[in-house]
Copies of this chain bind each other. A is one copy, B any other.
Amino acid sequence: MADILHRVGVEHSSPQRVYDALTTLDGLSGWWVEKTTGDTGRGGVVEFRFGPGGIDMEVAELDPGRLVRWDVVDGPQEWIGTSVQWDIRQDGDWTIVLFRHEGWREPVEFMHHCSTKWATFLMSLKELLETGTGAPDPRDVRISDWH
């Protein structure tokens, strides 16, 4: 098993604002994927649609202002059975976001790509909260031929 890990700090924000950006359609479409639909409540399924493909996440755990956990229920074959966890806390002026996309079966090349891509989306989340404008798909930062 292999995991993707990341950490960003959001300045002059709050755990509740970060939590809202992870648990509302408006928030998610502001930093990750513009075409986001579905039910963001616990047990609900949120559908993210990138151009031709997509990812469906079941909301597995919610602890307001502290934790969000999604289980991947549909999407790229390598993602099926993996989980994404967000841990949030306040440290002085900074809201710290710890990210883990865990349970990859193998450290395949696509996992390398997703790791870098997640970093750019975490920076997009940070920018959304700090400046009001993120860079969600299809306005996301291009990192390679795989987009």
Contact = CB atoms under 8 A, between A and B. Distances in A.
Interface of A: 2-9, 91-94, 96, 98-100, 107, 109, 111-113, 115-116, 119-120, 122-123, 126, 141, 143-146
Copies in the complex: 2
B98 A8 contact: no
B2 A109 contact: no
A92 to B, nearest CB: 7
A82 to B, nearest CB: 14
Contact of A4 (B8, B93, B115): B115
Contact of A9 (B96, B99, B100, B145): B145
Nearest to A108: B5
